[in-house]
Structures are given as C-alpha cells and as structure tokens.
A and B are shown apart, each in its own frame.
Chain A
Amino acid sequence: MKPSTSATKTGDDLTHYEPQVEGERQGMLRIPLPWFICLAGWLTLALMSMWPAKALEQQPKIYFEDVTEKSGLRLERITSAEKRYLIETMGGGVAFLDYDRDGWLDVYLTNTPTVQSFKSGRLPANRLYRNNHNGTFTDVSETAGVAFRGWSLGVSVADYNNDGAADLYLTNFGPNVLYRNNGDGTFTDVTKQAGVGDARWSSSSGWADYDGDGWLDLFVANYVEYDLNQLPEYGRGRYCLYKSLEVLCGPRGMKGAGDALYHNNGDGTFTDVSKKAGVGDERGHYGLGVAWGDFDDDGDQDLFVANDTQANYLYINQGVGQGAGAFREAGLLSGAALDANGKARAGMGIAVGDYDHDGRLDIGVTNFSEEAYALFRNQGAGNFTDAAFTAGIGKISLAYLGWGLFFGDFDNDGWSDLFAANGHVYPQVDRPQVDQMDPGARYRQRCLVFRNLGRGNFADVTAAAGAGVNTPRAHRGAALGDYDNDGDLDALLMDLDGGPALLENRGQPRGNYLRIKAPVGARITVEAAGMKQVDEARASGSYQSASEQVAHFGLGGAPVAERLGVRFPNGKTRTLTNVKANQLITIDKEAQ
C-alpha cells in the first residue's frame, strides 16, 4: 500500500511533467522540468498511449481479496432467521469517509435490530472505524459520539456546513439523524436545530447543491408507512406470498411514505422544500435509492430515485436559480422509469457513470430477481434506453436480487466496470419446495462483477474475481473507495445477517490512474490515451451507502492525462493540461 500522491508505476524519471494550467494554476501541480525530459516523456507517452483499452481484454484481472477479518471491521448484529417483517430485511448501509482528514478513508456502518429486540429495547449500535493506515481499523464510535442506537438503515456523507469536515446523515426507521463533524474527531447531533429529522421510514439519502448557492442540499428517499404495533401477519394475505411460499408482507399493499428535499439555508438549518420543488413523491412510490447527477448536461444537478415495484423518478432540474418548483418529473417519458415493456421493477440501488464514453451520465439500477438489472444508457435529449441485455449484464442478473451498485474502474484501464451486491429478501426461498425451475433464487447470493470491455458491453468476471466476491451473503449496502491509498478501488459491503465485508482490490496488472477530489456536483473530464472520460464528484448513489467522494479515473498505460477539465456546480470551469498520473488532486472550493 502506498499513498496516492507518490511515485508512478511506470517510473518517475519518465513521468515528471509540468502541468499547463488554463486559468488559475492548480496548487498541487508545480514541478517544472527541462524541455528535453519533456520530449522524452512525450515519446514514451505516445508509445504507452498506443496501449488501447480494448487490448486490455485479456490482460488485467479484476480480483478482490476479502480482508475483513484482518481489518478488524465488525458489527454486532441482531437478526432474525425467518425475516417475518419487511423492515427486518431492508438494511443496512456502509460508508467510506475521511472523518479525521488524515488522508485515509475511515468506515461507518449502520445497524438494525429485529422487531422483537426493538420492542424490548435491545438496540444494536452503529459503528465508526478509524483507519490505522496499515490495513486495520479501530472502533472509535463511542469517543466520536456516533454510536447511534435505533433502527438505522442508511448513511450518507457530506460537508453540509462547508467547514471542510465530513458530516454524517443517518436514514432510520424513526427520526433521521444529522451528525456535524466537530473537526476534532468528534461529532454533535444537530438534527433538531438543522430540521432534518424526518421521522418516516427512510432508506437512502444523497447530497447535492441543486440550486447552486454553494451549500449542499439533502434528498431523502422514504419507503412505506409502517407501524410496529400493527404489523401485517407473516404469510397471511395477498401481498405475503412469493410464488407459493408464505413470506413477509409488503411493500405491495402498503402506503408509500413520500420523499423529502431539504434546502440548505447556509446557517446550519434546512427548509423542507419537497412539495415546492416537486419532488415530494405525491404518488407515494416506495423510495429506496437516490442518485444526483447532471443527467441532461445542462450544468445543474438532476435527481434519480429508484422505487421498489413502482416507476422510478427522474427529476430534471429546471435550472439553477429558479428556486422553488425547480424540478420536472420526466421518468416515464425518458425511458428510465420502467423496463422497456413499460413494467415497473423493484428498483433498489443506483450506479451513475459514463460507461460508454459518450460524455453522458448513464444510470444502473439493481432490481428484484427475474427482473434483471437496468442499465439506462443516456442517449441525450432526455432519452434513456435500457441496454442491460445488449451490454451483457441483463441475462446473468436475472438470477440475482441486487442492492448496492456502483460503477468503478477496478483495473484502471479507463473504462468503468460495474459491481453489484446481491441477496434475496426471503430466507424462505432456500426451502426445497420452491419450484425447482426457479432460476437460482437463493437467499444468500454472491456479488456480480462486470468488466467493461470498452465497446459498450461488459464481461461477467465474477468467478475469477476472488472468494470475497463469490461468498454468498445477504448483501445490502455497498460502497466504493481506495481505503489503502494504493490507487485502486476497493469495496465495502454489508451483509444483513453477518456484518461488513471489506474487499481489497488486488487485481493485476493495473493501469495508471488519476483521482480528483472536487466539490460535490463538479463535472470532471479527463482526456488521456485517446480516451475522454466523464464523471462527477458525488455524495449519493448505491443503496443506503456512501462511497468516497473522489472521482477515480483509470488511465490505462498513459502516464499523463493530456487534459483535465472541471466544471463546478456554480458553472465556473477550470482546465489543467498534462497532468501526471497516479496522484490525488484536490480542487477545493476556494479554487472556484
């Protein structure tokens, strides 16, 4: 493991370039070099850039090692074997965040009880683990003041008060919680004064500056109205059967809880603008996943909400500065709300990324088993088409019930791969009387890893991706981050019945990379090795989880990126040229 800002894989002597900054000079890149070295470097670059991404098909291997035990990450869980109630099968989340700003990713884990233990007051605690910089973590939950005890499903991370420290937002069954990072290793519960304690059953949350005022706003996807004192009886009723099996009831037949958008007032308080902004979910769809992104390429942040068994929402931001009523729901006409036949699926987690290098953000969604994941390819002009089958992920995913999902360039070849965490909701599917032709519906399921082949399609590389990926678990949340600072993306998963799983990326060979830390919502474009990649810094996505807020770009064999462009949420832009590979570049707010 080595820090991301250190030497390259291809040799320091050939990769020292002075970046040519258009506009303001970027502070971290400041090493001038003699022109002859530069010339030699360009020759090398020219040769290396001939390593086309497509030629990598046979070369890199995506491989993860399960390092959970060694890492010390664990979670004391209370679970029920039968999952007799919907709420017992929906959580929980994981987060990668650098809460102490030491340059190493720490970990936050949410925790859920059972109905029985909740009623008896026996509540497991959420955990915060500090990264020890050596592959291990130390539990600092109590000293940090974030050992929340309740029914905590999801977590999101954002610097909501612009003090440079990562704050935490917990989505719970019961009032949600906002923990403000005090900057000294501790947090303070500021929910009440902030006014974001949504008391409904919340699932995922995500942050973006939708109105361009420089403050991150908060969207919360809520699920169903649920009363622990009036629980539907397991296996009894129309919505309590799966095939011929008696199972937990819901969500069908239940009333949707409605979603919430909280506008950040910039003074530590928020205002609920859900209704005014048109994102309050008046239809009462069962919200599970949240992802912000500029899906129509107009410079502001749009919003995608994955709904369970009902049409997804795609809220198009009508424009920065328009304030109230700023969103237009365009899911159905866009093609990203339903499957191609017009049927709603059980949307869970969301991945956002430009997997086909057309400069537009595409959307992946995990769904129920026998529904296939969705891969909504952005065709521009507000149109999406589900390319899951043509891209090679539809068929294999039919057998899986997916939750956490993210794009990530695991082999650093310049093309975003796809990682999905799976697991069924009904333990009863393991019983032998389930129809023998059921396509592999098992309660515990392995993850799926798809390698991007660079032609708009993927190869299922799960089997060779390591035991940690192939271990069947009841996965729920999943997050992405380079926790060991070795320049590749690792994965953090939550097993509903087991606790966290940390998968370290050990794939070889790997290409070079560039990691960009920019304000949430910033659009980043990297040009290297003849490829143009686009991504955004985001604080949303996947399922009930928070990935690191770093945009990670694989560069293949390219030792430099010829061009690095950043478009900030306020519309300002910045361009750097000849940016050396294998480093983390921070573009902070002062640079805007």
Chain B
Amino acid sequence: MLRLAHHIGVIFPTAVLLTCLLTTTSAQPRQAGVVQPLYQKAREAEARKDYREAAGYYEQILKLDPSLHSLRANLGLMRYLNEEYDRAAREFRKALAGGANLYTAHLFLGLSLLEMNQTAEAIPHLERAARDKPQDSTARFHLARAYYGAERHQDALKQLEAVREKQPDDAETLYLLGRVHLKLSLASYDRLKQQNPEHYRIYQLLGENYEVQGLHGPAIANYRKALERNPKAHGIHLRLAELYRAAGELDKALEAYRRELIINPTDAYAMYKAGAFLLDQGKLDEAAQYLERSVGADPNAAPARVSYGRCLLEQNRLQEAIAQLRQAVKLDAGAAAAWFQLARAYQKAGDSVAAQEALRMYDKLKQEN
C-alpha cells in the first residue's frame, strides 16, 4: 500500500516546495565571516543539483554553529532530495526540536517518513503542516496520500476534495481521487457481499461496473441476474434498455423500457427515455404519450421537453412544439439541441426570422462546445 503511495504525487510538490523552503529558511548565519562562504558554496551546489555536496557544506556550518536550526532544515532538505530519507528525517526532527520553520519542517519530515512507508508517523506531521497553512494544497495533497496509505479513505477524500477545488485539473489529484473512490466502492461491495452474497445489488453493481468499462455483454448478464433476484428493482430494466439500444437490439430495448415502466410507472426519467427511444423509432403517437407524461411529472426536465417538442414537431403540431421548446430553452439556455429543434419548429411554422434567431443560438452554442 505504501509503495503505491510512494508513487503518487512525488513530482507534484517538489519544485514548489524547494523554492518555498529555500526562500523561507534561508538562514542568515551569525558568524557571517566564517559561515558565509560555506553557505554560498552550499547554495551553488544546490543550484547544480549536487545535493550531496550541498549537504556537506551545511554540515560544516552546523558544526561551527549548531544553533542554526533553519540551516539544519536546509540540510534535511538536501538529504531528502538526495533520497536519503532516514537521514533527512533525522535532521528535520532536530530542526523542529530547535524551533525551525514549523510548516516546512513538518511537511518534509512527513514526506520523508512517507517515503520510508512510515505512514502512521508521517500523518501527524502532515496534519500539522496542513493546519499551519490551510490554504496550501501541497500539504493537503500529501496528507491525503498518507491517509490513503493508512486506508483512511474518507479522510483522504475530504483532503482531496479541498485540493480539487483549487486545482480542478491536476492529474495527480484526480488520479488519487479516483483511487480513493474505487477503494470506497470496493469496500462497500465487499461489505455487501459479506452480509448477503446473493443480494441483487451485488449484481447490479457488477453490471454498472461492466457497463462503465464498455463491456456490454457481461453488464447485461449481471443486470439480468439482479432482476432474477429482485424482479421489481427500479432502474435495472432501464439500464438494460439503454444497452440493448446501443447494441442495435431495438426490439429488446423496447421491451425493457416497457418493463421498467410497468414496475416504475411514475418515473419521469424512465418515461422520458422510453419516449425518446420510441421517437427515434418513428413511433410518434406512443412516444408522445410517454413524453407528455414525463413532462407532466417533472416539468423542469429540459431534455424531456426537447424530445416532446421534437415529437410534436414531427407530428406537425407546430404551436404546441414551439411552446414546449421555448420552455426547454428557458429551463436550459445552453441546450443546443433545444435551440436546434426550436429553429426547425419556427421554420416549419413559417416564422423564418425567429427560426434564424434560434439557429444563431444553436450555432453559437455549438461553437462554444
């Protein structure tokens, strides 16, 4: 587990932290006349990324003046960068004992311990760093790594969500977030399986898992098993219908939609999906019935209104179509499909000015996307 954590996000913080640490801990040696040349050589070695040599200069300084705790933190960082994690941890601990910069020392001590798979020891230091600088995503991210290693998935999730708010597209954060969710999902699945190995939800979950992976055959098999165990389970026939539809097995899809609505007759979404399917098959009258009921059950669902509007348009019920589609664009002005259908409805109704205006909106949205 910790080896996995080792691979996560090491690159992410290093450059930032290096700059941060060297900036914030740049010591001003008291015995400037003796120490300054050594310090200068240490910085030059750092610039060359010769961390071993830099560490040697810092050690010489600290022999001259052991009270330079900030420079001991620098020494710890050189050890860390040279992948000498045990020696780094030792120096960070000494620096902290001497009162060095708390945030950076705690953070890098935590990171050094993480690298040595000493997760439990790392966590308090990373928590401290995160507490000291709550706005800094770096400490939070590594704390999440530590929590993940310690299988404290809910705690990891909390930290990662905070990081994601600030850095929504960071690949390492998203990757770890995915891993955490997967772990939570598997944990729920394992618990469910222990409690009731034949529960329909197990097969439903497996079906959903296969469906997400695009493995439609196994997904259908597991959904069917779920329905064998609970024939009245809501939503599973609907999933089957969508899979059959994608596979071009339209008769089976229609049957599955109908079965869903037998056991789940007031579900607006199921009615919408069934209606949209029938509409695509050109079965306008039946589609209109489902879509009208769907819109009635959930008046704020723009997609259902778009489909109903399209259905009315194809039935040549133009004014009704326009009314539905206008409502759809009011509910979701960013729905390009709604503007497209509205443009067609206006055009068919002979209002070319309104048609062009709706078409302009459609074009604009398409270009934006």
Instruction: Of the listed stretches B55-63, B90-98, B112-120, B215-223, name the one at the interface; the rest are far from the partner chain.
Output: B215-223
> Which interface residue of A340, A385, A395, A439 has the most chain B CB atoms within 10 A?
A340
Is B282 an interface residue when CB atoms closer than 8 A count as contact? yes
Q: Which of A244, A342, A388, A440 contacts B337 (CB 8 A)?
A: A342
**If the complex has contacts A394-B281, A437-B220, are A385 and B337 also in contact, measured as CB distance less than 8 A?**
no
Is A318 an interface residue when CB atoms closer than 8 A count as contact? no
Which residue of B is nearest A388, CB measured? B282
What residues of B have a CB within 8 angstroms of the CB of A383 in the complex? 347-348
What residues of A have a CB within 8 angstroms of the CB of B344 in the complex? 333, 335
Is A195 an interface residue when CB atoms closer than 8 A count as contact? no
What residues of B have a CB within 8 angstroms of the CB of A399 in the complex? 248
> Which interface residue of A244, A341, A438, A439 has the most chain B CB atoms within 10 A?
A341
Among B319-369, those with CB < 8 Å from A are 336-337, 340-341, 343-344, 347-348, 352, 355-356, 359, 362
What residues of B have a CB within 8 angstroms of the CB of A382 in the complex? 347
Q: Which of A243, A385, A436 contacts B314 (CB 8 A)?
A: A385
Cβ contact within 8 Å between B362 and A332:
yes
Q: Which of A334, A338, A395 contacts B281 (CB 8 A)?
A: A395
Cβ contact within 8 Å between A342 and B341:
yes
Q: Mark A549-567, 1 if CB is under 8 A from B, else 0.
A: 0000000000000000000
In the complex, besides A340-B314, A398-B248, A436-B215, 11 extra interface pairs with C-beta distance below 8 angstroms are A244-B214, A340-B279, A340-B310, A389-B282, A391-B282, A395-B250, A398-B250, A435-B216, A437-B220, A437-B243, A439-B247
Q: What are 12 A-B contacts with C-beta separation under 8 Å?
A: A333-B352, A333-B359, A340-B280, A342-B341, A370-B248, A388-B282, A398-B250, A435-B216, A436-B216, A437-B220, A437-B243, A437-B246
Q: Which of A391, A395, A437 contacts B216 (CB 8 A)?
A: A437
Q: Mark A186-230, 1 if CB is under 8 A from B, else 0.
A: 000000000000000000000000000000000000000000000
Cβ contact within 8 Å between A332 and B214:
no
Is A390 an interface residue when CB atoms closer than 8 A count as contact? yes
Interface residues of A: mostly helix, strand, loop or mixed?
loop
5 closest Cβ pairs, A-B complex: A439-B248, A390-B282, A437-B216, A389-B282, A342-B340
Residue total for B at the interface (Cβ-Cβ under 8 A): 30
What residues of B have a CB within 8 angstroms of the CB of A385 in the complex? 314
Is B249 an interface residue when CB atoms closer than 8 A count as contact? yes
B333 to chain A, nearest CB (A): 16
What residues of A have a CB within 8 angstroms of the CB of B336 in the complex? 342
A324 to chain B, nearest CB (A): 23
A130 to chain B, nearest CB (A): 44
B24 to chain A, nearest CB (A): 42
Cβ contact within 8 Å between A436 and B281:
no
Is A387 an interface residue when CB atoms closer than 8 A count as contact? yes
Which residue of A is nearest B244, CB measured? A437
The CA of A388 and the CA of B216, in the complex, are separated in Å by 26
**If the complex has contacts A341-B310, A437-B246, are A333 and B343 also in contact, measured as CB distance less than 8 A?**
yes
B272 to chain A, nearest CB (A): 13
A328 to chain B, nearest CB (A): 11
The CA of A390 and the CA of B340, in the complex, are separated in Å by 22
> Which interface residue of B215, B216, B279, B348 has the most chain A CB atoms within 10 A?
B348
The CA of A395 and the CA of B250, in the complex, are separated in Å by 7
The CA of A383 and the CA of B345, in the complex, are separated in Å by 10
What residues of B have a CB within 8 angstroms of the CB of A435 in the complex? 214-217
**If the complex has contacts A385-B314, A399-B248, A437-B216, are A332 and B280 also in contact, measured as CB distance less than 8 A?**
no
The CA of A382 and the CA of B346, in the complex, are separated in Å by 13
The CA of A388 and the CA of B214, in the complex, are separated in Å by 28
Among A361-420, those with CB < 8 Å from B are 370, 381-383, 385, 387-391, 394-395, 398-399
What residues of B have a CB within 8 angstroms of the CB of A244 in the complex? 214
Q: Mark B265-297, 1 if CB is under 8 A from A, else 0.
A: 000000000000001111000000000000000
What residues of B have a CB within 8 angstroms of the CB of A342 in the complex? 336-337, 340-341, 362
A252 to chain B, nearest CB (A): 14
The CA of A394 and the CA of B277, in the complex, are separated in Å by 13
The CA of A437 and the CA of B223, in the complex, are separated in Å by 15
Cβ contact within 8 Å between B249 and A439:
yes
What residues of A have a CB within 8 angstroms of the CB of B359 in the complex? 332-333
> Which interface residue of A382, A398, A440 has the most chain B CB atoms within 10 A?
A398
The CA of A235 and the CA of B354, in the complex, are separated in Å by 45
The CA of A370 and the CA of B280, in the complex, are separated in Å by 13
Which residue of A is nearest B355, CB measured? A333
Cβ contact within 8 Å between B214 and A436:
no
Cβ contact within 8 Å between B348 and A332:
no
**If the complex has contacts A398-B248, A439-B249, are A341 and B337 also in contact, measured as CB distance less than 8 A?**
yes
Among B173-203, those with CB < 8 Å from A are none
Q: Mark B216-260, 1 if CB is under 8 A from A, else 0.
A: 110010000000000000000000000100111110000000000
A516 to chain B, nearest CB (A): 33
What residues of A have a CB within 8 angstroms of the CB of B279 in the complex? 340
Which residue of B is nearest A343, CB measured? B337
Cβ contact within 8 Å between B282 and A338:
no
The CA of A435 and the CA of B281, in the complex, are separated in Å by 24
The CA of A390 and the CA of B343, in the complex, are separated in Å by 23
Cβ contact within 8 Å between A387 and B282:
yes
Cβ contact within 8 Å between B220 and A389:
no
The CA of A435 and the CA of B248, in the complex, are separated in Å by 13
Which residue of B is nearest A344, CB measured? B366
**If the complex has contacts A342-B337, A383-B347, A437-B216, are A389 and B280 also in contact, measured as CB distance less than 8 A?**
yes
Cβ contact within 8 Å between A437 and B347:
no
> Which interface residue of B216, B249, B280, B341 has the most chain A CB atoms within 10 A?
B280
Which residue of A is nearest B346, CB measured? A333
A432 to chain B, nearest CB (A): 12
The CA of A436 and the CA of B204, in the complex, are separated in Å by 20
Cβ contact within 8 Å between B280 and A243:
no
> Which interface residue of A335, A385, A437, A439 has the most chain B CB atoms within 10 A?
A437
Q: Mark A334-353, 1 if CB is under 8 A from B, else 0.
A: 11001011100000000000
Which residue of B is nearest A396, CB measured? B248
What residues of A have a CB within 8 angstroms of the CB of B310 in the complex? 340-341
